Amino acid sequence: MASSHTGLEFDVLADHLALMLAQEDLVSIEKVIRDMSPSDLVDVLEREDPDDRAIIYRLLPREVAVEVFERFSPGMRADLLTGLRDEHVVGVFEHLDPDDRVSLVDELPATVSAKLFSGLSEKERALTAPILGYPSGTIGRHMSTEYVRLRPGMTPREAFDHVRASGDGAETVYLLMVTDDHRRLEGVVGMRDLIFALDGDSADGDSRDDDPAAEPITVRDLMKSPESVTASEDAEKAARRAVRTTHLVTPVVDEENRLIGILTVDDANRIIDRADEEDAARAGASEPLDRPYLITSVTTLVRSRIVWLLVLALSAILTVQVLEMFEDALATVVTLSLFIPLLTGTAGNTGSQAATTVTRALAVGEVRLRDTWKVAWREVRVGLTMGVLLGMIGAVVAGLVYGMDFGLIIGLTLVSICTIAATVGGIMPMVARAIKADPAVFSTPFISTFCDASGLIVYFLIAKAVLGI
């Protein structure tokens, strides 16, 4: 029974495959990959270059191929399709879930995707169309249109038989949607509740007229009130809410509460993962990558970072200008320049601490826009407390080494910049959210630059006052 690999086994396997690829020994490769789990296959394929990946992929049995494909990132899917022969591509495309099909469209050139769609069967095209109707960025774009619908009046047995008769292609049969005659969502029923509500003695076949005496249990009695999302909602927000319900599936409805699809918990997780990855990348001043790091070209890596780096370097010219303003003070007391990196670094760290915390709280919905003043007031107090603690230490250390004057300057500056940096760091993500920008973009890097400049001004003003220059 192929359990998942440990790190070491995996390394051996990867080396082994590389050798077989070099020798073009397709028979051996096929033998090795036949025993691998889809997770391991994804791990291996993510590390191969595009040509080798296409070779290995073509050797996979159809069902495994589709499962592996669905686990790839959008960028890798597009790469792979361009590496496969036409008949392979059409086969994979037909067997994808409708929502995965749609997300591919966003990656492929329009001509390619148009060709792929024209090759789709009638049925699959009908399932894909509603998803394409929603703009990318909405949750409608990620929903599945293959679900099982029940009526509230059905008995558990009727419902169970209906699932067995119609649920074959459904994304899931574990949470069933209950709608009225106008397709309006009334509730959801777990397969588990349905199973335990089945009467023990009736056959699987037609049993509609059984038991006319006792009041029969119906789907309505088993039904729970659904926590649904609206198709036009922002994908990340809706996905986070769906995951928080801890249900396997969340119904997707239109503005009139009509059921139009379902969102599975693993699709929701994929959306959140992607959003978190974006946030993490932007907090680190780069754009998220579409493909695994090791197979991303150096050019693409540079492109994901250089714009940010340039913008930040240009905004850092502000610090040069601030220092120019105080060039005289620097010339008079050279010692002042020694503390520049320490002070700007501390300001930057304090700012990004606050920004990281508030950005996260915004993302998971713990903090809302109306809380802006609450956040500001908390950060003022947090910054001031940390500034006082740090300032006292700084004053003593700097005082001992560079004299009383410098102790005073460093102490006062640390108190001020910690307070300013924490407050600005806390508010900036809220401002970003208010102007509908990505809070993560506004966090760490920009805040650092801002804190650098304002920290320097405070530093030199205090220094000039204390030293009387």
Site for its own copies in 407-436 (CB under 8 A): 418
Q: Are strands 259-264 and 249-253 parallel, antiparallel or unpaired?
A: antiparallel
Q: Let me know how many helices (H) and strands (E) the chain has, helices first.
A: 23, 6
- Interface residue with its own copies among 108, 132, 248, 466 (CB under 8 A) is 248
CA gap 243, 265 in Å, rounded: 6
Assign residue 175 a region (left: φ > 0; alpha: ψ between -120 and 50; beta: otherwise).
beta
Residue 336: which of 348, 349, 317, 322 has the closest Cα? Answer: 322
Per DSSP, the residues of 346-400 read HHHHHHHHHHHHHHHHHHTTSS-GGGHHHHHHHHHHHHHHHHHHHHHHHHHHHHH
What is the smallest separation between the CB atom of 353 and its own copies, expressed in angstroms? 4
What is the smallest separation between the CB atom of 2 and its own copies, expressed in angstroms? 6
Q: What secondary structure letter does DSSP report for 253?
A: E
- Interface residue with its own copies among 19, 129, 195, 437 (CB under 8 A) is 195
Please identify, using beta-carbon distances, which residue of 323 and 466 lies nearer to its own copies: 323
What is the smallest separation between the CB atom of 112 and its own copies, expressed in angstroms? 26
- Interface residue with its own copies among 276, 290, 405, 438 (CB under 8 A) is 276
What part of residues 168-187 is at the interface with its own copies (CB under 8 A)? 168, 172-174, 185-187
Residue 280: which of 264, 293, 268 has the closest Cα? Answer: 293
The stretch near its own copies (CB under 8 A) out of 93-101, 137-145, 208-216, 283-291 is 283-291
Which three-class secondary structure state does DSSP give residue 257? coil
What part of residues 347-366 is at the interface with its own copies (CB under 8 A)? 348-350, 352-353, 355-358, 360-361, 365-366
Q: What secondary structure letter does DSSP report for 140?
A: G
- Interface residue with its own copies among 13, 18, 108, 301 (CB under 8 A) is 301
What part of residues 307-336 is at the interface with its own copies (CB under 8 A)? 308-310, 312-313, 316-317, 319-320, 323-324, 327, 330-331, 334-335
Interface with its own copies, residue 22, by CB under 8 A: no
What part of residues 79-138 is at the interface with its own copies (CB under 8 A)? none
CA gap 285, 448 in Å, rounded: 11
Q: How far is CA 371 from the centre of its chain?
A: 24
The stretch near its own copies (CB under 8 A) out of 127-135, 137-145, 207-215, 276-284 is 276-284
What part of residues 223-242 is at the interface with its own copies (CB under 8 A)? 225-229, 241
Please identify, using beta-carbon distances, which residue of 116 and 291 lies nearer to its own copies: 291
- DSSP alpha helix (H) spans, 145-297: 156-166, 191-197, 219-222, 235-244, 265-283
